[in-house]
Amino acid sequence: MSQRERDRLQVLHEVEKGQLRQKQAAAQLGLTERWVRKLLGRLRAEGDRGVVHRSRGRPSNRKLPEARRARAVARVQAAYRDFGPTLAAEYLAARDGIRVSKETLRQWLKAAGIWQARPRRVKEVHTWRSRRACRGELVQWDTSEHAWLEGRGQEPYLIIMIDDATNRLAARFVPHDSTEENLRMLQIYLQRWGRPLAFYTDQASLFRVNRPATQDEELAGREPLTQIGRALQELGIEWIPAHSPQAKGRVERCFGTLQDRLVKGLRLAGVCTLAEANAYLEREFLPVWEKRFTVAPANPTDAHRPLGRAHDLAAILSVVEARVVTNDYTLSYQGKIYQIARADLGGGLRGAKVQVEKRLDGAVAVRFRGRYLAVSVCASPPPPQPVRPRVGTPKKASPSHPKSRGWMEGFSLKQTPPLWKILQHEAGKAVPQEVAR
């Protein structure tokens, strides 16, 4: 007997003793007077057992067939062993045609001993921040190093950009977490949706310069920027640094979901290479994410700004370094000598600093005072010839040679010979005493 049925039984006993009227009992139990009279009749006929629900111990009319339960449990045990009930229910419906709710599947898996609930951990409480109102107002950007392919190939890195207002996701697998790969990810985002108002990232060396400002930067009054920081400044996008992992909790929770769902999806798809991983990401996973996890923004206005004519992505999204032009109008960059074309020579070029842009496609462009210079790679100079060692025995110095110590007999090592003695040795004959004086 449940606690609810015990409470009913106590009220019904008070009605039987005349301590309570049927109308008052109905109001107290939240039932109709007709149903109270029916319960009183069962109590008189069957005793206290009469208030127990008639369906107690009987199978439900909506119970799923045992054959479906056996198929679902066997399929989970064979293919989705480490899946949670929610994800397993989605894959059973999409790939195997077995439709069952996640809660029903949870109970089946618990009864079969395949899944058990994880103990809840008490986490540190942080101040909750509401979502931004508009799409494109704030985008969180981060990279995750994880066993995405579970040892089936070289493990890639995953760069993601998640919109704070809608959870809309842009992601790409890369071979390594570098400036060039992050600039390529930024290019994909800009070409797809435009320029957001701000990016929210950690304070890694890709985004913040971990050195003091140089003398030129102090004189110019500008803050030292990384390549990504410079690109965001030229695009008019604000960069906001996070001071803790909890501050960018949306992207951290997103990685937790991806490290569960995406890893299992890549496994079932048999993905082993970087190209296959990116193809699966764009073709299968991101469309499902768009339907399953994105939310509607509080404000339907899109805060993204379009790219204008002044935004040359090839130049902005490049690695830019300064080089000095030599007197023969050449410059050195990454072990190569570049010659400036004669048609682009002008005043003030020799000894000046030019900006060398290493584009994402591998091309090199040189810019001076807002205009680009035509350059060509010079032939590398011949390597220096090694110095050959001298063959033969070295000649001994003659006794009269200054390096010979025979003529310095009689003098100590700390005593310098007199000048007339040295002149006499150099002339090869005696020097008169008066000349020596």
Q: Is residue 384 part of a domain?
A: no
Give yes or no: residues 272 and 248 share one domain.
yes
333, pLDDT greater than 60: yes
Would residue 390 count as lying in a domain?
no
Q: What is the pTM of this model?
A: 0.71
Phi, psi angles (nearest 5°) of residue 320: -105, 130
The answer as to whether 215 is a domain residue is yes
Sheet containing 375-377: which strands, arranged edge to edge?
330-333, 336-340, 375-377
The count of structural domains within the chain is: 5
179 and 284 assigned to the same domain = yes
**CA 201 to chain CA centroid, nearest Å:** 9
Domain that holds residue 95: 66-112
Does residue 326 form part of some domain? yes
Residues 17 and 79 in one domain: no
Does 148 share its domain with 264? yes
Asked, for residue 388, whether it belongs to a domain, the answer is no
Asked if residue 126 belongs to a domain, the reply is no
Tell me the one-letter amino acid at 232: L
The 8-class DSSP code of residue 167 comes to -
CATH label of the domain that carries residue 225: 3.30.420.10
Distance CA 408, CA 430 (A): 15
Kindly report, residue by residue over 343-394, the tens digit of the pLDDT. Answer: 999 888 999 999 999 999 999 999 999 899 999 999 866 566 566 666 655 5
364: enclosing H helix or E strand: strand 364-368
Q: Are residues 143 and 274 in the same domain?
A: yes
400 within a domain of the structure (yes/no):
no
76 shares a domain with 162: no
Is 393 a domain residue? no
Q: Does one domain contain both 146 and 225?
A: yes
Same domain flag for 347 and 229: no
Residues 280 and 145 in one domain: yes
8-32 mean pLDDT: 90
Same domain, 254 and 368: no
Least confident of 37-46, 114-123, 311-320, 352-361: 114-123
Same domain, 35 and 73: no
Q: Is the per-residue pLDDT at 187 higher than 90?
A: yes
Claim to verify: residue 146 and residue 233 sit in the same structural domain: yes
